Chain A
Amino acid sequence: MLVFLIRRIAQSAIVVAIMSVLVFTGIFAIGNPIDVLISPEADEAERAAAIARLGLDLPMHEQFLAFARNALAGDLGISFVHGVPAVQLVLERFPATLELALLAMTIAVLTGIPLGVWAGLRPDSKAGKIIMAGSILGFSLPTFWVGMLLIMAFAVSLGWLPASGRGETVEVLGVPFSFLTANGLKHMILPALNLALFKVSLVIRLARAGTREVALQDYVRFARAKGLSPARIVGVHILKNIMIPVVTVLGLEFGSVIAFSVVTETVFAWPGMGKLLIDSILLLDRPVVVAYLLVTVLLFIVINLVVDLLYSLLDPRIRLGGAKA
């Protein structure tokens, strides 16, 4: 287990190093942030002063070395746009994104798995076909469009839910969460649904395919012959055996929901991380983009680790040995 962890961490460090070089040079190549940031009224002296203030007057390799030195000391730099530490900016946005992602994933699991198993057990029934048709829609409709549609229906026409933004929040250990207030939850419903739609479809497909395969296995027939209740067969023997692919995909999806749900966050003006990333790229706010992606890499590493641990819980045959990992 320990060897496994150490190896993982070493691999991740290499990933982080390569990625920071790529991001740094990539953004450097797009353009000079000062061109976007400075007031057009500024004259040349003003411009030169601003460039020097932000350290953009140095050649690229020196900028990178300065960045790398500070990064190793744990300082990822100050945002060009906001003038505050980049990591702080990213972490400030984290709770909003996390709670939305969790709600969306919960919706995806709670509706996707039952529907998928149902469709897998009765593939030729009307309900099974309707579920599959629905999942195709969920896959193919563009998120942006669905989001606008949800807003038009539930906020503008019916007036049941707020159109956008984050509602009231309560601080838990100094971290603001909105799912604990009625108002906050109301603000979360539409964006979470919008985010969940694609995931639900994905989970339905995985669960259905798994169920169809597992349902025909000998041990299921044997369980049935032994006279186990259908509920126990489905709930234990089938469900447990279809979960590995579902957990793998959900893990990856969870990571991407947190890091890259830009469209939903934009449509619903949700103050999350995805939106910060896009805004920072547009303004060439290099420290924030780099900090953001580092946090994201870290996040994926943790999620993958959790997924691996879940494997071993779901399937006792899997061991997290140092030798084979």
Chain B
Amino acid sequence: MNTLLALLKKETMEFNRTYKLLILFAVFLILAILSPLAAKFMPDIMAQFLPKEIAESFPTPSALDSWAQFFKNFSQIGLFVIALLFAGMIIHERNEGTLIILLTKGLH
């Protein structure tokens, strides 16, 4: 339990100091800005290349649409970024050799 806590602390520090937190934050910020914009302009974009009747049948975008848009991006791109950021965690420790010292300190 104590080791888990220690390692969690270490991971948080790593996350913070190697700018991974910043990357994650930036990705989500971009998604958050893009989503409402995409929802707002979607009918206009569609109108550009769809017949007039069909384009007019689209409902006016609401706040809910923008949230749905964000939620969709979140589960796709957001999760993808998280996976990328955390994927190397253990193999990195092993390759760099940083794990050896911790192993001899009683980590198992």
Same complex = no
- By a beta-carbon cutoff of 8 Å, the part of chain B in contact with chain A is none
